[in-house]
Amino acid sequence: MMRIGFHLSISGGLPAAVDAAERLGCRAVQIFVRNPRQWKNRHLDDGEIQAFRRRRRQAALWPVVVHLSYLPNLAGHDERIREKSLRALKEEWRLARHIGADYLVVHCGHHHGLGLDKGHERVAEALAWVLTENEGNHGPTRILLENAAGQGTEVGSSLGELRRIRDLLGPLSVHVGYCVDTAHAAAAGYRFRTREELERFVAELDAILGLHRVALWHLNDSKVPVGKRVDRHWHVGCGAIGREAFRRFVHHPRLKSIPAIMETPKKGDQDDLENLARVLSL
């Protein structure tokens, strides 16, 4: 069985997120390091950071994942937004390294009419800039490109797109891996409900991305049918992907060593507890 965790809030402080992870029975955790819907940075003092590092070790959480906030758009052409996006990427990666996070998950964004090819180039240029700006100080935190559902002008909904963006980085690509979201993949048209479909999907993942470069799953069901290109997460096993598909997924010999984070709907702890119990019962 793969290591499982949730995206949790840090509204009560970083150490409180570890407390919540322990209370829920998580073995991994994902957080934001700032308000995901604001450009304003969140101040993290050294005492809070050191307490988080200590509590994380005590709880044996791995991996600790930081998700880039929602506002940055690395693929777009609006220069004002791009400048803010680059600053946010640089600052959130710095904070992720500072708290000892293992990964920073990044969405590619929307090209807003530039076209996919130009969107790929813009994302690669943004990543190259932040990697070069921090040359010699990359630390333990690897950047992971996440696949998209394919809504509107979203960049990165196909595995081939993610591969092309990484390839555009050249030698810097060693610092970049992948996070694959099951709900996004299904929305984009990838099928893995049956045993045969899953084997084809695994083969495609390996051939295009390289399974050794896939560092994280976002384990979410989809509220919308496969191929609808709409991003609507749902409770694992209760949506368009389904229980049997997830059972095969989490036990697949080539997939189960990769940790997973659930980003399922929640009103409180009970929703997370039910989702975790459902996955552990597969």
* 274-to-248, 251, 278 alpha-carbon distances in Å: 19, 19, 6
Q: Is 46 annotated to bind ligand? A: no
Q: Is 102 annotated to bind ligand? A: no
Q: Is 120 annotated to bind ligand? A: no
- Return the bridge partners of 4, or none: 260
Question: In terms of Cα–Cα distance, which of 191, 115, 168, 176 is closest to 146?
Answer: 176
Per-residue b or e along 162-194, where b marks 16 or more CB atoms closer than 10 Å to that residue's CB: bbbbbebbeebbebbbbbbbbbbbbbbebbbbe
C-alpha Rg value of the chain to the nearest Å: 18
Q: Is 107 annotated to bind ligand? A: yes
Q: Is 218 annotated to bind ligand? A: yes
Query: Helices in the chain by DSSP H: which ranges?
Result: 14-24, 46-59, 79-98, 116-133, 159-168, 182-187, 195-208, 243-251, 269-280
SS3 of 64-131: the string is EEEECCCCCCCCCCCHHHHHHHHHHHHHHHHHHHHCCCCEEEEECCECCCCCHHHHHHHHHHHHHHHH
Q: Is 146 annotated to bind ligand? A: yes
Whether residue 227 contacts residue 197, with contact meaning beta carbons closer than 8 Å, is answered with no
Give the chain's length.
Answer: 282
Whether residue 281 contacts residue 26, with contact meaning beta carbons closer than 8 Å, is answered with no
Q: What spatial distance separates the first Cα and last Cα of the chain, rounded to whole Å?
A: 9
Sole residue written with tokens 């813009």: 122
Q: Is 181 annotated to bind ligand? A: yes
What residues are designated binding site for Zn(2+)? 67, 107, 146, 181, 184, 218, 231, 233, 263
Residue numbers belonging to the annotated binding site: 67, 107, 146, 181, 184, 218, 231, 233, 263
